[in-house]
Homo-oligomer: A and B are copies of this chain.
Amino acid sequence: MKYFMIAILTWASLLSHAEGEHFASVGPITALGQLESSHNLNMRPHLRPFDIRRWQTKAGTSVMFVRADDVPMLDMRVVFNAGAARDADQPGLAYTLSNMMFQGTEKQTAAEIAATFERMGAQFSSSSARDMALVELRTLTDPQYMDAVLQEFTLAATQPKFREEDFQRVRNQELVGLKQMLQSPGAQATKLFWSTLYAHSPYATLPQGDLPSLQQMKPADIEAFFRRYYNAHNAILVMVGAIDEAKARSISETFTASLPEGVAAPALPDQLPLAKAENVHLEFPSEQTHILMGGLGIRRDNPDYYALSVGNEILGGGGFSSWLTREIRVKRGYSYSVASYFIPMQATGPWMISMQTRNDQTQAALQVTHDVIDAFLKEGPTAAELQETKDQVVGGYPLSLASNYSILGNLAAMGFYHLPADFLEHYPDAIEAVTLAQVKDAMKRHVRQDTWVTVTVGLTTAKHDTPPQP
């Protein structure tokens, strides 16, 4: 599917990838009840208990492993605490390194690496976001393939070669991509929102970097960042698949032994809320004004996580029946989509609302949004709304763990954000336990419009506030 995937962060994506920006999921999450197709395969998703095995390799890497024998495949993910938050004064560095992964080893080019994996029926990828950098592998577990694939993967991921010519090509693509991206009002709004809300803290910049920084970057910088952050003490390794624990242990030892031992990245400095609300407008000749508004939310380990998840879902989550969608889209047609979301991270991530609207409706849309939030914080959802949302979240939960890959994502988030060992089993109960009072209280404490950043990118028009249509 190649249509533009819109970042509607549902509870499922918040759960599996707390670093939500790049990992948003789309679409309704519904119950497994009707699922009849694989009745003859005995492949029902195993819900609980999750038998998560944990250990630490000799090199010092934390490992989580779930055995899943249904399909003869292994999924493996290595998470490094090496996202854009580590860029320091070189915005785009983590991102560029991630793009340089699997571009070459001493003996192979990028095309050869890709062809090698493809011929062995294996897939690999690298990616990064503000908090994390990932390398991933999916392989058949038949030893005829797996052992060679793992050898290749270990080599390619731990002994990469950052050749000048590959660097030039990758950087060139990034520059073109960044220039094109920055010509869109949406990207400008994103850039302004994060830079205003986070000032000089590590989340202030675009993970994709900026032009001067990319232009000055050298392969030696990539090399240094790799040596500093892609190490055994700064990594978490997760595996889900049809191997036994002994094999999983052996794989984890081999892989992490190839990494430099290194040291874990230090904790990120946190960001204080702004002293007062700030409005930032960028005059941009687009038909639609892009709006991003919001403030600091929570860190991933905040105990308000469940109440906020439910509250956010009702206020502006994925469904068509959210308060914001009802008022902004359905009743007034201001925007095709409006969504609110948390991005809980290592340091305090944002809680924000995004929409686009016709330039002349910008002020009206902002006003309605504030009114909806005011009403929500005052009245809160109804008991029926609360129950419906909890049912939907809990009912859809099994499907969010229906595949090895989704379990892998959850394990990685659990490991990276230090969630409790029973997080997966506990999740539905924790959601079910959320009360109306908790939702109202948590939302009131965390949704603080008086310290918000409101970014508008579009054309200023005469402010004729369109009257709300019933």
Q: What residues of B have a CB within 8 angstroms of the CB of A45 in the complex?
A: 115, 119
| A140-B71 contact in complex given A3-B170, A183-B185, A337-B176, C-beta closer than 8 Å | yes
Give bound CA distance, A99 to B126, whole Å. 26
From 381 to 430 in chain A, residues with beta carbon under 8 angstroms from any chain B beta carbon are 396, 399, 402-406
Q: What residues of B have a CB within 8 angstroms of the CB of A140 in the complex?
A: 71-72
Q: Which residue of B lies closest to A123 (CB)?
A: B123
A466 within 8 Å of B (CB atoms): no
A456 within 8 Å of B (CB atoms): no
A36 within 8 Å of B (CB atoms): yes
Report the contact-size class of chain A (Cβ under 8 Å from the partner): 35 or more
Q: Which of B144, B176, B284 contacts A41 (CB 8 A)?
A: B144
A408 to chain B, nearest CB (A): 11
| A172-B337 contact in complex given A38-B119, A43-B119, C-beta closer than 8 Å | yes
Q: Which residue of B lies closest to A119 (CB)?
A: B43
Q: Which residue of B lies closest to A99 (CB)?
A: B3
Q: What residues of B have a CB within 8 angstroms of the CB of A184 in the complex?
A: 180, 183-184
Q: What residues of B have a CB within 8 angstroms of the CB of A402 in the complex?
A: 115, 118-119
Q: Which residue of B lies closest to A22 (CB)?
A: B2
A121 within 8 Å of B (CB atoms): yes
Query: Cβ of A403 and Cβ of B176 under 8 Å apart?
Result: no
| A71-B121 contact in complex given A27-B169, A37-B148, A116-B35, C-beta closer than 8 Å | yes
Q: Which residue of B lies closest to A208 (CB)?
A: B3
Query: Cβ of B71 and Cβ of A148 under 8 Å apart?
Result: no
Give bound CA distance, A2 to B144, whole Å. 31
Give bound CA distance, A209 to B88, whole Å. 42
Q: Mark A166-201, 1 if CB is under 8 A from B, else 0.
A: 000110111111011101111000000000000000
Query: Cβ of B111 and Cβ of A176 under 8 Å apart?
Result: no
From 21 to 38 in chain A, residues with beta carbon under 8 angstroms from any chain B beta carbon are 22, 26-30, 32, 34-38
Query: Cβ of A40 and Cβ of B115 under 8 Å apart?
Result: no
Query: Cβ of B336 and Cβ of A176 under 8 Å apart?
Result: yes
From 108 to 161 in chain A, residues with beta carbon under 8 angstroms from any chain B beta carbon are 108-112, 115-116, 118-121, 125-127, 140, 142, 144-145, 148, 151-152, 155
Give bound CA distance, A155 to B287, whole Å. 42
Q: What residues of B have a CB within 8 angstroms of the CB of A43 in the complex?
A: 119-120
Q: Which 6 A-B pairs have the closest CB atoms?
A: A4-B177, A118-B403, A71-B121, A115-B402, A285-B285, A43-B119
| Inter-chain pairs besides A38-B116, A38-B120, A183-B183, 9 sampled, C-beta below 8 Å | A4-B176, A37-B112, A37-B152, A38-B119, A71-B121, A72-B140, A115-B399, A176-B336, A180-B186
21 sampled A-B residue pairs with Cβ under 8 A: A3-B95, A5-B173, A26-B173, A27-B111, A28-B109, A28-B110, A29-B111, A37-B107, A37-B155, A41-B120, A45-B115, A72-B121, A111-B396, A118-B402, A118-B406, A180-B184, A180-B356, A183-B183, A183-B286, A284-B285, A285-B285
